[in-house]
Chains A and B, each alone.
Chain A
Amino acid sequence: MTDTTNAPIPSQDKGSLFQKLELDMRLLGMIGALFILCLGFSWFTDGRFLTPRNIFNLTIQTVSVAIMACGMVFVIVNRHIDLSVGALLATTSAVMAMMQTQVLPEMFGLGHPMIWVLAVISGLLVGTLIGAFQGWLVGYLTIPAFIVTLGGFLVWRNVAWYLTSGQTIGPLDRTFLIFGGTNGTLGTTWSWVAAVIAIVAAIWAMSNARRAKSAHGFPVKPIWAELTLYGIIIASIVSFIAVLNSYFIPERRLQRMFDERGEVLPEGLTVGYGLPVSVLILILVAVVLSIVAKRTRFGRYIFATGGNPDAAELSGINTRRLTVKIFALMGFLCALSAVVASARLSNHSNDIGTLDELRVIAAAVIGGTALAGGFGTIYGAIIGALIMQSLQSGMAMVGVDAPFQNIVVGTVLVLAVLIDIIYRKRVGAK
C-alpha cells in the first residue's frame, strides 16, 4: 500500500466467486428470499403458486405498486416521504375516468381514437402538477414532507371522491384498457421480440461499461465472470417470457375475440398471452429510472443530498428545486400507476389505491431503501413489491385467514428492515 504517484492500479485477485462476479449481495439476498417464498407457497399449494397463470397474475398485480415504489425510492433517498401516493393515484384516476367517459366524448363523440390519448395526457399532467405543488410546499416553504403529504393524503382522496361524486366510473375507453394486464398483452411473437431487444440492450450496456473501465485502465472482472453474467441475464429473460407465453388465453375468451372480428375460431387453437403491456411499462420505468439514478446529474444530486444535505448545498446544488422535481416525478408515476390500475379494473372505483401508500413505502423499504436517506435502488424496490405481492396472494391461495395475512405482511416489513440493519453493520456502515 505504499505505491508511488504513478503506480499502476492494483488488480483485484482476492475474493470469492461472488466478488469476482461483482454481484450485489443485497440483491442476491432479496432474490433468494423471493425464491424461498415462491418455492414454499408452491409446495403448500401443490404447485399451483408457480403455474404460468399465477405468475402472470402476480406480475400484473405488482405493476401498480412497483411503478410508484420506483419513485418512492427517490423521495426516501432524498430524506423525504410521500404518504399521498394512494390518494394521488385516486385523483388522477378520477380525472382520467371523467375525461374519457364524460368530457372528451362530448367534445369528440364516443369512441374517438384520440380520447384515450388525451385522457392519459391530462392524468399525467395533473399528477405531475400536484406532485410539483407538494414538492414546492416541502422544498420552498420548508413544511415537513410528512405533514404536506399527510394533508395530501386526505385532500386528494376526497378530491377524487368529489370529482366522481363517489360513483364507480366506467366502462373506460376500449383502447385505454390495453394498459391493464389481461386486457392488453403483446402476444407470443412480440413478446419474443421484446425479449431479444432486452437481451441485446443489456449486453450492449454491460460491454459498454466494461469498455469504458478498461479504456481508463481500471480493473475489470475476468471475462468468464462477464460471460457468466450474460448467461444469467439471457436465461432469466428467456424463462420469464417463456412462462408468460405459456399462459394461454381461455378458450371461451378466445372464442369471443374471434367472434368480435367476425372470424371462426380454428379447431384446437391455443394462443399465449405473452408479456402484458403494463409489465412492459414497468420495465421501461425501471430502466429509465435506474439510468436516472446512476448516470444523470439529477440522480447524483438526489443521492448526494440524501447523504449530506449541507454538502450538496455547499456544492452549489439547488436542493429546493431538486425537491420540487422529485415530487413532480412521484406525481407523474402515481398518474402512470393510475392508468395501469384503473385499466386493470376496467373502471374507476372510489376506493382505488386505498392503502397503496403503505404498500409502496413498504416495497421500497423491503427493497433496501434506507429511511435515513442516501441509499436505495430501483430494482430493490421492484423486488420488494414482488415479495409483498407474493406473500399476499400466496397466503390467500394457501387459505390463511385475512387478519393473519396482514399480520404476516406487517411482521415481514419490520423483519426485513432489521435484517438490513444487521447486514449494514456487518459490512461496515456502508
Chain B
Amino acid sequence: MTQQTQAPLVELKNISIAFGGIKAVDDVSVDLRPGEVVGLLGHNGAGKSTLIKVLSGAYAKDAGEIFINGEQVEIDSPRDARANNIETIYQTLALADNLDAASNLFLGRELMTPFGLVDDAAMEAECRKIMGRLNPNFQKFNEPVSALSGGQRQSVAIARAVYFNARILIMDEPTAALGPHETQMVADLIQQLKAQGIGIFLIDHDVHSVMELCDRASVMKNGQLVGTVNIADVTDDDLLSMIILGKNPTEEANK
C-alpha cells in the first residue's frame, strides 16, 4: 500500500481522559490511513474502548487533539462524529430492542416524507436493500430486534454503520457474539470495506483475528500506549508480550 505518503485519515494526538481521578486514557496518539485496518489491543480496562469513544463522540476528552484528513475537528457528541463520516459499531450493538430493523438503521437520521412525517415504507425498502447485501437470509423486517438472533442483531448494527457511507469505521469487538460462519462474514466485509478506501479501527481481544485482519496494531495497557507495530513485522507472541508485559519489542518498527 502507498499509504505512507498520504495524510492520515484520522489522527488522535495526545488524548487523555480521566474518570474521577483514574486516567482511563493517558496521552495516547494513534492514527489511521485510508484503506487501512488498525487493531486496538489490550486487556479489559486497558482503555481501548474509552479511547475509541472519544472519537465516536460518546465521551468528551480532557486533553488532546483530533485531526481528520489533516484538519483539526471538535467532536463533542455522536452527532459531530457522524457529521465527520465516523460510524461506530459498539460492543453492545446499541440497538433499541423494541424497534424494528429499519427504525434502528435510521435512528437519529430518519427518512422523512414531504409532510415532515417519518417515512417508514421508504426506510424499510432501504433496509431491505442493504440487508440483502449484508445478510441475505435476513427476513424479520417487521419485528422488534429483540426477536432476532445474535448474528442478525449484529448485522443490523453493521448495516447501520455501512449504510451512511462511512469514511472511518470503528468496530468494537464486532465478532464477540458471533458463530464461525458469521465471523467469516464480518472478515469478508472488512476486506470489502478496506478495498473501498474506508479506514477501520478494530478493537479485538483475539490476537489471531487481529493478525489476520489488521495492517497495524496499537497495543494499550493501563491507559497508556505500549506501541504501534506493523503486523507484517511481528508474531503472535510479540503482540501477546506487548499486551501482557507492556513491552514493545520493536520500538523502531513503526517509524
Contact = CB atoms under 8 A, between A and B. Distances in A.
Task: Summarize B's interface: helix, strand, loop or mixed.
Answer: loop
Nearest to A373: B98
A406 to B, nearest CB: 33
B108 A374 contact: no
Contacts of B82: 316
Contact of A430 (B57, B116, B122, B147): B147
B96 A304 contact: yes
Contact of A317 (B107, B120, B136): B107
Interface string B105-135: 0011110100011101110110010001100
Nearest to A315: B108
A296 B137 CA distance: 30
Contact of A216 (B77, B121, B144): B121
Interface string A1-35: 11111110110000000000000000000000000
Contacts of B110: 297, 300
Interface stretch (A139-147, A155-163, A306-314, A342-350): A306-314
Nearest to A428: B147
B107 A306 contact: no
A297 B124 CA distance: 16
Contacts of A316: 57, 77-79, 82, 108-109
Question: Interface residue tally of chain A, by bracket?
Answer: 35 or more
A218 B78 contact: no
Interface string B31-57: 000000000000000000000000011
A215 interface: yes
Given A291-B117, A315-B108, A429-B146, A308 B96 contact: yes
B235 interface: no
Contact of A315 (B107, B116, B121): B107
Interface of B: 56-58, 77-79, 82, 88, 90, 92-99, 103-104, 107-110, 112, 116-118, 120-122, 124-125, 128, 132-133, 136-137, 139, 143-144, 146-147
Interface of A: 1-7, 9-10, 212-213, 215-218, 291, 294-297, 299-300, 303-308, 310-317, 374-375, 428-430
The 4 closest A-B pairs by CB, nearest first: A307-B98, A315-B108, A307-B96, A316-B79
Given A212-B121, A216-B124, A311-B92, 13 more contacts: A1-B137, A6-B132, A9-B128, A10-B139, A216-B121, A296-B116, A300-B118, A303-B98, A314-B56, A316-B79, A316-B108, A317-B107, A430-B147
